[in-house]
Every structure is written in structure tokens, then in C-alpha cells.
Structure 1
């Protein structure tokens, strides 16, 4: 597995100013992407992966990536599929075409969530101000993904590099999440 996952998919939004930029840690708003939620049975996973272009992971808290594609394990029968923003219709139609005779749920959640990219040698410290997970590389290696709570907000955290994390939250919570991260970073800067 590459040390930096999805660097061709999860990229900074070039139209947005950095949310945080200080020695040791930065936070950038991620560019919009296609997000699909797939709920399906084990018998159809191979077809879904074939249609999407990336095999669906079956091991908890893992991901599989391909060129401009990522699949994140969210639960025993649930995955989040990520693709470029302009691939929504083609991706959706390809998966639906493979599953028309199988029970499943495929939902476009692209507008539901936003993501920020938190990176730098102090990224773990910053995330641990509101998430009580051991983010050491031994426990939470590159490629690990989980749902959790940041203070009082549900978030998804995906480690895409040694010192790089994607933090995703619902649009209605993102100002709260990013605001608390910036506030916590001020404490780091003062220390």
C-alpha cells in the first residue's frame, strides 16, 4: 500500500483559503468529490467492485484505492465509494447496472458531507484534542478508516499518509468541527 493514498482523488479545494497553516500542522478544505453509499450483500461485492473499478474491502476499518477511486469500509454491509465529482452519473449507472437483479441500496451522498485534510507532524495531536483514538502508526496505519465522534459531532477519519488525515463531517457540522480544530491549534501554537 502506498504511503499516501488517494492523493489523486482527495485534493485541496483550490478556491478555498487554508483553514489553518502553522508550523507542524495545516488544514485545507478538500475539493468536492462524488460520494456514494452502498449497502449490499456479500454475493454482489465482486460485481460492485468490478463496476466501480476498485474491489470492495471486507476487512473492518480498511480501504481499497485505485486511480481516482477509493472504497472505504463503513460496516459489514456498507461502503462509501469516492470518485471525481464529474464521474457521479457514470459511476452510479455502472453500479446500478450490475445490481439491477440484486437487492441493494446505492445512494448519492455527495452533497451531505464535506472533508478537510489535516496534515503535518502535529496532526495526531490536533485530532486527539477531540477524538480519543490511538492514532499511532502501529495502531492506526495508513489506509485505516473509522467513524467516530469529534467532540459532539459524528465524523469519519481516514489516514491517507503518515502525517495526513481526511476528516469528513456532514455539511451542517463542518463549521463546528473545523472551528474547534482551528481553536485547538491556537493552543498548540501558544505551547
Structure 2
């Protein structure tokens, strides 16, 4: 997480954590598998944190849930993890880049965490996966903007405007 994925090699990674290259290879068949397991751990850690976060637990709507997650995602450690995620996505666009299944999982693994809040918001089940995709894209785009610009007030305001459009009641009918 500290040094990024570009130029990552198992030998220096093993040395940095105080184990041999062979030890890493006994646990991970390749650099890609190591990265995949690290990203799974990042997702699992965030999911576990959300299970105990007071603001996330108190959220009555999908918009409030997203606000609680945004607050967590703007912490420095989470920002560093997002930077690695963006490196993986960028690498997936190049021949021999990131593992296709891994990059696909960066979307498919997160959608089930978003859809329940949207259903509580009153969105019909037929729209929640597409809407969760839009939420994920918006949050990740704002995270990228925040990492590049450092302008938290602007990113926060952009999220608030997005959430204003997201608020929905069953009376609004299908989109």
C-alpha cells in the first residue's frame, strides 16, 4: 500500500515484510494473486468496519449510508487504498496489465454492499443494481478527484448534490 503497484516485485516485497521470496511463493502463486488477496482484505476490512460504524448503522436511507461510507473513505488510510485501486484499474487497460477477474471484482464485489440501502431508499429492485453501479462510479470518481486535487470541500459538495438527486420515494415511480 505504501509504495504502489507499479513496478511491484515479489522479491523486494518479501524483503520489506521480512520473509523470503520462497515464502511468498508458497502462499501466493504470483504477484497478481498477492494483489488480489490484498484487495480482498481491503474490502473485507472496510465491510467489517461498516458493520460497527455508528453513523453507517444509524443510516435510515441509502443516501445517509453513502454519506457515512464517504466519511470513512476520505480518511488518509482509505485514500491510500483507493490510489492502489486506481493503479489496478489503469493497469487493466494495458496488455499484460492487471488480472481481468480481479479488476472486474472491484465492481461486482461492491455492488451487493450498496443495493440494500437503495432498496431502503425506495428504489425498485429492478433498478438497484444499475443504480448501485452509478453510485459506485460517482463515489470512485469523487475519490479520484479528491486524491488529485485535495479539495475536500468541493468533493463533499459534489457528493451532496449527487445524493440530492439519488433521494427517491416509491411515489416517484420508476425512472
* TM-score above 0.5, yes or no: no
Q: Which has the larger radius of gyration?
A: 2
Instruction: Tell me the TM-score normalised to structure 1 length.
Output: 0.29
Give TM-score, length-normalised by structure 2.
Answer: 0.31
Higher helix share: 2
Higher RCO structure, 1 or 2 (CA under 8 Å, sep 6+): 1
